[in-house]
Amino acid sequence: MKQFFIVSMLLCLAAALIAPATGMAQQDFAEAQVLAAEKARTAALINHDLAALDKLLADDLTYVHASGRVDTKASLLEAIRSDKLHYMSWEPKDLHVRMLGDIAVLDGKYHVHVINRFASPDPLDIDLLILSVYARRGGHWQQIAWESTKDVGPQVNH
């Protein structure tokens, strides 16, 4: 009986040590999936890949540009389709992901080269601070919200 108790205690201890590591591995995997979705989104914006954007952006998307313009998924895709919004590059500077179950909050910085014909016919080089929200829907990560603002100075480090 004493041996059974010792073996049971060792198994419980092993399970207690393995469970957090498994949870961390799952969280790390989910964070990597979100960052991959974000990378795919910026590549699709640069390549004007409307089919990819249709999958990566949620139907109920709220997209707030640094200019103050607010788009839905439909209006954002139309702006890209009509070339009123023409992204040429997205360079991530510092991205962080916080997981909240099936929701991920992404914050950080980008350097973006864009022509925003709503604001100006000339290309803009802009440093952005961003906040983006992704939701896992149907096993895939979709962006449900985006907000950016111009980076105007020193920032607090994480």
Tell me how many domains the chain contains.
1
Which of 18-22, 87-91, 154-158 is the least confident region?
Answer: 18-22
Q: Assess if residue 157 is contained within a domain.
A: no
Give residue 11's pLDDT. Answer: 44
Distance CA 53, CA 19 (A): 36
Distance CA 141, CA 30 (A): 9
Q: Assess if residue 145 is contained within a domain.
A: yes
* Average pLDDT for 74-86: 97
Range of the domain at 137: 2-150
Find the CATH number of the domain harbouring 47: 3.10.450.50
Residue pair 57/41 in contact (Cβ under 8 Å)? The answer is yes
Q: Does the pLDDT of residue 9 top 80, yes or no?
A: no
Q: Assess if residue 156 is contained within a domain.
A: no
Q: What is the pLDDT of residues 13-33, one digit of tens each?
A: 444 444 455 555 777 889 999
